[in-house]
């Protein structure tokens, strides 16, 4: 028997992970109530009870996977906000560590990290797992702290393997409305509302954008294919589209899909200096050699997101101008 627990199913990546498992009829462990992340004492009780339920009945013949896709941090998050997030993470980790002492089963903790935050100050032309980590803000420092705590756990306990996925910029359905990130979702929502798009960095700024459902599949594969690897209790992989595109190309692609000119307002904000002008990623990990995991093309991903956002606004009773949405012509990226 295999048991799977996803923390963060209310977020973009967590919900994509759940969709991926459910599409293959693989059951996912369900929690009995929503976690109260801002109430640490209550959270401790909730996580302890839930962790007990998760490991209950597992034997040496069983396996388990825990996917951590939580967090509301962004490149502009304060030290205070990230301190709370770190405390939540350590509560979870301490509870799991204590439980592993008495469990017979062996499993994997797959952790969603941020390549953009961890390599924000890296000057390499192409960033790989061999590039030097260089954080420049509290968000990056927090992710690095969490990764090191996981690596420490792996060195102390032989019942868990750690798989750290450093994701490039993800986009797709489920991007939070209140979270101050998600450029593509912001542009798509502005287009559907017929509002001008507000951009706070130069249009020549490039990023590596990966559709979230593709990211989820790569994340799951990373956890599955490496959990039986001998001697490697902790592994790190960059998961990215491995092709950078500019904001200007994003706008041009959406112009083609919607067949209307997109208004753009360019300015600067206090966060502008936190974002590098060019980002390019490539993974040197060899664990998935010979596989054919999908990375959908930019135009395919944008079309999917446009349709999902259009339906969202229609359900909310908003009037959106979608009569010019065209069917895309694409090949799998």
Asked whether residue 19 is domain-assigned, the answer is yes
Q: What is the pLDDT of residue 327?
A: 37
Q: How far apart are CA 242 and CA 49, in angstroms?
A: 41
Phi then psi for 44, rounded to 5 degrees? -60, -45
How many separate domains does the chain show?
1
**pLDDT tier at 320, thresholds 50, 70, 90:** very low
Asked whether residue 122 is domain-assigned, the answer is yes
Report pLDDT digits (tens) over 38-75: 999 999 999 999 999 999 999 999 999 999 999 888 88
| pLDDT exceeds cutoff 60 at 329 | no
Asked whether residue 254 is domain-assigned, the answer is no
Asked whether residue 48 is domain-assigned, the answer is yes
- Residue range(s) defining the domain that contains residue 96: 2-171+209-239
The CATH number covering residue 26 comes to 3.40.50.720
Q: Which two tokens stand for residue 127?
A: 């960033």
Asked whether residue 97 is domain-assigned, the answer is yes
| pLDDT exceeds cutoff 50 at 183 | yes
- The 10 Å Cβ neighbour count of residue 131 is 19
Alpha helix positions (H), the chain: 12-23, 40-55, 79-100, 115-118, 138-156, 183-192, 212-226, 247-258, 298-315
| pLDDT exceeds cutoff 60 at 328 | no
| Closest to 217 (Cα-Cα) out of 22, 59, 46 | 22
Asked whether residue 320 is domain-assigned, the answer is no
């Amino acid at each position: 028997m295999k048991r799977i627990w996803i923390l963060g199913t209310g977020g973009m990546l967590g919900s994509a992970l759940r969709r991926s498992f459910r599409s293959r009829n693989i059951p996912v462990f369900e929690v009995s109530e929503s976690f109260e992340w801002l109430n640490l004492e209550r959270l401790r009780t909730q996580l302890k009870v839930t962790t007990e339920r998760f490991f209950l009945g597992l034997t040496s013949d069983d396996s388990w996977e825990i996917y951590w896709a939580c967090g509301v941090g962004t490149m502009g998050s304060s030290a205070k906000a990230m301190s709370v997030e770190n405390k939540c993470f350590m509560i979870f980790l301490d509870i799991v560590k204590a439980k592993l002492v008495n469990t017979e089963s062996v499993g994997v903790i797959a952790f969603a990290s941020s390549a953009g935050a961890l390599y924000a100050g890296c000057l390499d032309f192409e960033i790989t797992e061999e590039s030097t980590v260089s954080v420049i803000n509290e968000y990056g420092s927090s992710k690095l702290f969490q990764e090191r705590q996981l690596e420490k756990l792996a060195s102390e306990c032989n019942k868990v393997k750690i798989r750290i996925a450093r994701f490039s910029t993800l986009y797709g359905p489920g991007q939070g409305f209140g979270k101050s990130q998600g450029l593509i979702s912001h542009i798509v929502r502005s287009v559907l509302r017929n509002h001008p798009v507000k951009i706070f960095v130069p249009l020549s700024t490039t990023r590596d954008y990966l559709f979230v459902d593709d990211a989820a599949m790569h994340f799951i594969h990373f956890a599955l294919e490496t959990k039986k690897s001998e001697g490697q209790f902790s592994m790190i992989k960059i998961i990215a589209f491995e092709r950078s595109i500019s904001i200007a190309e994003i706008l041009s692609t959406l112009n083609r899909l919607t067949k209307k000119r997109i208004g753009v307002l360019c300015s600067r904000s206090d966060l502008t200096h936190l974002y590098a002008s060019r980002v390019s990623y490539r993974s040197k990990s060899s664990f998935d050699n010979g596989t054919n995991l999908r990375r959908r093309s930019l135009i395919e991903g944008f079309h999917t997101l446009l349709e999902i956002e259009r339906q969202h606004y229609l359900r909310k009773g908003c009037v959106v101008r979608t009569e010019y949405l065209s069917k895309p012509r694409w090949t799998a990226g």
